Amino acid sequence: DIQMTQSPSTLSASVGDRVTITCRASQSISSWLAWYQQKPGKAPKLLIYKASSLESGVPSRFSGSGSGTEFTLTISRLQPDDFATFYCHQYNTDFPTFGQGTKVEIK
Amino acid sequence: EVQLLESGGGLVQPGGSLRLSCAASGFTFSSYAMSWVRQAPGKGLEWVSAISGSGGSTYYADSVKGRFTISRDNSKNTLYLQMNSLRAEDTAVYYCAKAAEYMTTVTTFDYWGQGTLVTVSS
């Protein structure tokens, strides 16, 4: 299985901050990477697919980059609604895997 | 509007069985692969199983292979997960998720259900 490692596990930030989360794959996954946002008690919400494509309806302050084994999710100016847990997800094969999650907390 | 509604969760003893269902609407169900993804309490997301749109291809995580069976009834727009030989470590919220791309299992998930809780405990 392809292992996905996110960093950091927890991030404390303030409204208006620029936030970056990193995801590393144990082997190359080309650009087959997605990012999700999950709030407590809710299902995950797709933000980014194919490493850098913004899902319809997702605010443009979210962006993704990377290819191969290293990827980043950036929130340009953190908003109150953005405090949540974020997961990366590789779908390079029929056996997808997720990162362990990054919780973005209020500083 | 795409909707996915899971049901069938509950409390079951170790070694027991449970069948989850996911009723889908708002899209051409038979054209899209579907998956089950679970989340243990306070933990991250774990992909469990996937099935192609026709139902002809199925895939399982090693942690459930041989115990869980995914299936679908395209005439009823419903996805299923038959879970046998349940263990305490299977305790989780189980989500059904729709493939984002047409006619492939190698894709991300664009719609998720609200989840159904399965608790395995004596």
Best A45, A95, A102 member to test B by mutation, with max B CBs in 10 Å, is A95
Q: Which two tokens stand for residue B104?
A: 């492939």
* Interface contacts (A, B; CB < 8 Å): 53
Which amino acid would we find at residue A46?
L
Give the chain B residue whose CA is nearest to the CA of A86.
Answer: B44
Give the chain A residue whose CA is nearest to the CA of B99.
Answer: A91
Largest CA distance in chain B: 42
Q: How confident is the model at residue B105 (pLDDT cuts 50, 70, 90)?
A: confident
Phi, psi angles (nearest 5°) of residue B30: -70, -10
Best A29, A94, A97 member to test B by mutation, with max B CBs in 10 Å, is A94
Q: Which of B90, B122, B116, B92 is nearest to B9 (CA)?
A: B116
Pairwise CA distance, residues B32 & B102, whole Å: 6
Give the chain B residue whose CA is nearest to the CA of A6.
Answer: B44
Of B35, B61, B113, the CB nearest to A43: B113
Q: How confident is the model at residue B103 (pLDDT cuts 50, 70, 90)?
A: confident
CA dihedral B109, B79, B121, A102 (to 10 degrees): 0
Tens digits of residue pLDDT in A11-43:
999 999 999 999 999 999 999 999 999 999 999
C-alpha separations of A33 from A9, A105, B89, B96 in Å: 18, 24, 27, 19
Decide if B44 and A87 are in contact by the 8 Å CB cutoff. Answer: yes
Tens digits of residue pLDDT in B38-68:
999 999 999 999 999 999 999 999 999 999 9
